[in-house]
Amino acid sequence: MKIKNLLALIAAATLSLSALAETTEANIKKLLQQRLGDGAVIETVVKTPYGGLYEVKIGNELVYTDADAKFVFIGRVVDAETSKDHTQARLDEINRIKFSDLPLDAALKTVKGNGKRVIAVFEDPNCGYCKRFRKTLNETKDITVYTFMYNILSDDSRVKSKNVWCSADRNKAWDEWMLNGKVPATAADSCAVTPNEKVLELGRKLKITGTPTIFFADGSRVPGAIDAKALEAKLAALAK
């Protein structure tokens, strides 16, 4: 058989296998959606290279199922030999963003020291964990912080964020509230335009369900308030 014909056969076989895989994944998605109901919106189904499992993405979470969609496995897939957490690795990959796409003009910008290390953080003014993380940031050197005021906890969050945005010194007003509990002055009637709705829409698009949520320059995200040691370790790893 000529090489040209052999390559054509291989290409055809590859396409057939690819089409079969897509059909299998589509069938699994359909079956599983029926069995889980409308409350669980399945976004993707992908065959994994381990254990004959299929990865199922529901919102920001990953679960696994078999080829017949009869069983759902909830938990993490960890390599017993290397201890690599395959589930976390996939979540990191799926949740990664392009940092340069963030609308930084809708955020508060704080520069400390040389400001070379950059993060963006979504915070609600009434979030206790955000206030704790703000204390960590207050003690962190050589960093630029873009703070998106993400108002998801209460109507009062929107009010406080508007008052901060309309302040003469937004960064000072935010820190005074988050660090010292000093309520920002009421916004003037003339200050009608704020980025509140824009940030809320952005957060929903990025599927941010809790605050604080931190994004690093490489696009990776960390949900929750990490401590100073973990923050420094992450920033140091990115600097290598």
Same domain, 104 and 21: no
Same domain, 28 and 141: no
The pLDDT of residue 18: 43
Q: How far apart are CA 188 and CA 56, in angstroms?
A: 49
The pLDDT of residue 23: 73
Same domain, 13 and 78: yes
Please state, as a whole number, how many other Cβ atoms lie within 10 Å of the Cβ of residue 162. Answer: 21
The pLDDT of residue 156: 95
| Backbone CA torsion sign across 117, 118, 124, 129 | negative
The total of structural domains in the chain comes to 2
Same domain, 117 and 235: yes
Q: How far apart are CA 99 and CA 38, in angstroms?
A: 33
Same domain, 141 and 87: no
Q: Residue 69 sits in a domain of what CATH number? A: 3.10.450.70
Owning domain of residue 59: 3-94
Same domain, 172 and 201: yes
Same domain, 52 and 166: no
Which residues does 71 contact at the CB level (< 8 Å), separation at least 6?
Answer: 65
The pLDDT of residue 232: 95
3-state secondary structure of 97: coil
Same domain, 61 and 122: no
Same domain, 137 and 161: yes
Same domain, 193 and 75: no
Same domain, 81 and 109: no
Which residues does 77 contact at the CB level (< 8 Å), separation at least 6?
Answer: 48, 50, 51, 53, 64, 85, 86, 87
Domain limit, last residue, from 94, 127, 162: 94
Same domain, 106 and 120: yes
Element containing residue 31 per DSSP (H, E): helix 3-36
SS3 content of the chain, % helix, strand, coil (to 5): 45, 20, 40
Domain limit, last residue, from 61, 94, 127: 94
The pLDDT of residue 98: 95
Q: Residue 203 sits in a domain of what CATH number? A: 3.40.30.10
pLDDT per residue, tens digit, the chain (240 aa), is 455 543 444 344 333 434 444 578 888 888 888 888 888 888 999 999 988 899 999 888 899 999 888 888 999 999 999 999 999 999 888 889 999 999 999 999 999 999 999 999 999 999 999 999 999 999 999 999 999 999 999 999 999 999 999 999 999 999 999 999 999 999 998 998 999 999 999 999 999 999 999 999 999 999 999 999 999 999 999 987
Q: CA–CA distance from 51 to each of 37, 64, 100, 138, 231 (Å)?
A: 26, 10, 37, 46, 35
Domain limit, last residue, from 73, 94, 115: 94
